[in-house]
Amino acid sequence: MADLSILQALLGGASGSLVGFTLGLVGGGGSILAVPLLVYLVGVPGAHVAIGTSAVAVAVNAAASVLGHARAGNVRWPCATVFATAGVAGALAGSALGRRVDGQALLGAFAMLMVVVAALMLMRRDVGADRVVRLSRGNAPALVGTGLGVGALSGFFGIGGGFLIVPGLVLATGMPMLQAIGTSLVAVTAFGVTTAGTYAAAGLVDWPLAAAFVAGGVLGSLAGARAGRVLSRRRGVLTRVFAGLIFVVAGYIMARSLGALGHG
């Protein structure tokens, strides 16, 4: 793997800042932009290296975020453990499959997933924040099933999958949104570590770039959280704007991927 240039390090840090800022501002979804930024802005030569590198950054950022939610009591640990354990098995299978898929085809499929994520963002609602959900015989099978499915998608595309995990937790348990967000970060961390580990074992992680991305993400998330508090009444508008951005980026990736496949 080529040495990281100063320009790539700066662009990687800037990309991490943008992702972190978005996460802090609208409460999720930013990691879906990590792979497109690494491929099209930073210039990472292949989709697989971009996926492996972004998975490292996703895991680190999620692990940092889960601490705050745990202190606030928003993590339902038994549910998180069942979901994450099933999801890790899915992520192992998904990442193994993803490494065998052509890079351009993988980016095209990633773009379609972005459309799904943007739609989920627009449908997101926060209700019943005071209700506490507990693990039970009734919801355990649903947690295992959704964990496997979301974990497979997370591993295949190298994303944290928070905007897939949150609806999955709500669907499986009826968990209030704030608890689902806090609980999802446990799974995001586990999926990220699993995916990053499998890609790293295959030599598909650019570690200096991952470090630059993580450093930028820390700074961006702090700024985003501060801006989010100032603009708290407009978060619904910001989420819709960001979902629109994801649609645009997805369209760009689809066009590039179809063009590349057409000339292949």
Write the pLDDT tens digit of every residue in 114-170.
Answer: 888 788 778 766 555 556 788 998 899 999 999 999 899 888 887 777 777 887 888
Q: Is the pTM higher than 0.85?
A: no
Where does residue 136 rank: exposed (0-12), middle (13-18), buried (19+ CB within 10 A)? exposed
In the predicted model, residues of the chain with pLDDT beneath 70 are: 1-2, 26-30, 124-131, 232-233, 235, 260-264
Domain positions in the chain are 6-262
Rounded to whole angstroms, what are the CA distances from 116 to 119, 120, 122, 235, 246?
5, 6, 10, 20, 10
